[in-house]
Amino acid sequence: MIDHVYISVTDIDRAVAFYTKALEPLGWRRIGAFESTTDYVPDLFGLCDRAYGSGKAIGCSIWLRKRKEGETGLYLGLVADSKAEVDAAYAAALAAGGKDDGEPGVREYFYSGYYAANVTDLDGNRLEIVHKDVNPKRPA
């Protein structure tokens, strides 16, 4: 399941207007800005689906970020059901030829229940495997 996606854009205001209107019929809404205090995470502007934050189901979000010069590629966050799954996926990605982009651990800059690992694939696309303790348990 996809947890979140970062989309790098050239004009944040224009992109926010576009995505807000384009996704509204699907029940998506703005959830505001995340002003980063670390080099690990850029400033972000978020939109989310109906389930996001409901506590009833795992939601999905899209985060728009200012594209850096020469930057391409995708940033994709994938749901893990446990910290052990985060660790296992991280190890498997490295064994498959991926590169470390942030070893498994708590990401305090988001909150204490956010446990994630980051890797880049063979083409430089970025993956985050994340377990959030606020997510309800998924059916087996």
Beta-bridged to residue 117, according to DSSP, are: 129
pLDDT for 113:
93
pLDDT of amino acid 120: 87
Domain boundary assignment for the chain: 1-71, 73-135
Sheet strands side by side (includes 114-120): 29-34, 44-48, 61-66, 2-9, 75-79, 126-132, 114-120, 99-106
* pLDDT at position 75: 84
Helix (H, G, I), strand (E, B) or coil at 129: strand
Q: With contact defined as beta carbons under 8 Å apart, do 48 and 54 qualify?
A: no
| Per-residue pLDDT tens digits of the chain, which is 140 residues long | 888 998 888 888 888 898 899 779 778 999 988 887 877 777 889 999 989 988 888 899 998 888 877 776 688 888 888 999 999 999 999 998 889 999 999 999 888 999 999 998 877 878 899 999 988 877 66
Phi (first) and psi of residue 40, to 5 degrees: -70, -30
Third-level CATH fold of 73-135: 2,3-Dihydroxybiphenyl 1,2-Dioxygenase; domain 1 (3.10.180)
Length of the chain: 140
CA distances for 106 relative to 24, 40, 69, 90, 120, angstroms: 32, 13, 30, 14, 19
Phi/psi zone of residue 27: left (φ > 0), alpha (ψ -120 to 50 degrees), beta? Answer: left
Q: Are 31 and 49 in contact (CB under 8 A)?
A: no
Whole-prediction pTM:
0.70
